[in-house]
Structure 1
Amino acid sequence: MSEFHTLSWSAVAEAYPMVVDDVTPDRIDWHELGERVIDDFTRKAPLQVRDNTTLGKAETLLKTAKARYACVLNSNDELIGVVALRDFHSRKAVQLGQQTHTPWHDVLVSELMTPLRQLPQVEVSRARRARIGDLAATLQASGRDFIVLHNDGKVAGLVSSLRIAQLTGESVNVYHTASSFAEILTAVNHSDTRD
């Protein structure tokens, strides 16, 4: 440490104005091309988890990767669903643990994910040419937070409501629809509360 010297310093000021440029990202418009909001898996692979991964492990993976969702794969490496990080502590996740008498962190991702068959699926070239507002309208009409994009029978990417909100600064108001008898029953029993 003998080669280093102490800097002259003081502790007089209680506050200083920040000299930081505005770091607010430029917002994009809903009329711009959909390619601006596509998570293109040919450019960057998505986070992937197996269907038998526990919520505890999957949550750790998502947070470590700073990802908002993960693609859920079966044992044949086929996409079978998508699970969003924000769903991990939702009412549905808690109910799954209670119904199966399983601690939350031991519930399987396959029980919480949105199955592929429930997600709107669009040809990637159509999504690229569509306007962002068209993609948002598709999410709203489907009642889902994701659009799966495919090309030649393979998954090519996703569009998520959160990504659109992040880039446009406007929320996509997705009103989730019940897709099973159990979800309908839960919705009726808890009609006075919302997630």
Structure 2
Amino acid sequence: MPSLAEFQRLPLTTVSGQPQLPPATHAASLTDPAISQMTDLRLAPCVTVDHRDGIPATLHVMQRAGVRMAFVAGVGGELIGLVTVDDLQGERPLLRAINDHVAVDELTLEQVMTPRAEWRVIDAWQIEHSRIGNLAATMLEHGLRYLLVAERGQHGSLIRGIFSARRLEAALGIELASGPRSRSFAELEAALMH
């Protein structure tokens, strides 16, 4: 095995002008490989939150991490669900709070998450030879905002990646929404008042 001493150091320079970050999304076409739009969890970090966490704290963590979806971990650290910003700011928490006779801020993620049993996944081997058009059509047909990519392992499924409808919409310049979307608390309140 080579030693670190065998490698030449690379030259460093200073930043010139006003530094900028690259755009978050790149234009894509329906015929591009689907995998080009997948967030690969082997390379990109994902956010995991505890099932006992509250909605405001979770939204803060997600905002700080710059993500719109987080996995929910149970007592032993196993994945038991997922939550999205749309779920947490939409009607789901309000309806659950009304049903349970509690304040929205008293709800835990376990009460509002999408449980693992309801996840819709696609096998990783299918993605390897698919196009973005196949993926977009699938997400549109099933009304999915997120699609998890799973790989079969010795001890069950390994979540390898995530497709986001928001990312696809930005890359393709089209909208993948079908049917009614979750409303914010303000929109729901306004609808209930009329």
| In structure 1, C-alpha distance between the alignment counterparts of 2:65 and 2:143, rounded to whole Å | 27
Match of 2:86 in 1: 86
- Amino acid aligned to 2:50: R
1:1-195 equivalences under 5 Å are 26-151=26-151, 152=153, 153-175=157-179
Q: Is the 8 A contact 1:140 1:175 kept in 2?
A: no
Deviation at 1:34, TM superposition (A): 0.9
Task: Report if the CA contact (8 A) 1:119-1:142 is conserved.
Answer: no
Q: Tell me the CA shift for residue 135 of structure 1.
A: 1.3
What displacement does 1:36 show? 1.6
Q: 1:12-31: CA deviations, max 9, x gaps?
A: xxxxxxxxxxx796411122
Distance in structure 1 (CA, Å) of the matches to 2:114 and 2:31: 28
Distance 2:64 2:99 in 1: 29
Q: 1:95 to 1:122 in 2, by over 3 A?
A: same
* TM-score for both structures, normalised by structure 2: 0.71
> Structure 2 vs 1, CA of residues 108 and 164 (structure 1 numbering), >3 Å: closer, same or farther?
same
Greater RCO between the two (CA within 8 Å, min separation 6)?
A: 2
> How far apart are residue 140 of structure 1 and its match?
2.3
How many residue pairs align between the two structures?
157
Larger radius of gyration: 1
Closer, same or farther in 2 for the Cα pair 1:24/1:40, shift >3 Å? closer
Unaligned runs of 5+ in 2: 1-22, 182-190
Contact 1:31 1:132 in 2 (8 A): yes
Structure 1: gaps spanning 5 or more residues: 1-22, 178-191
1:169, 1:75 → 2: CA distance? 41
Structure 1 runs of 4+ with >4 Å offset: 23-26
Structure 1's 133 and 116: CA in aligned 2 closer, same or farther, altered over 3 A? farther
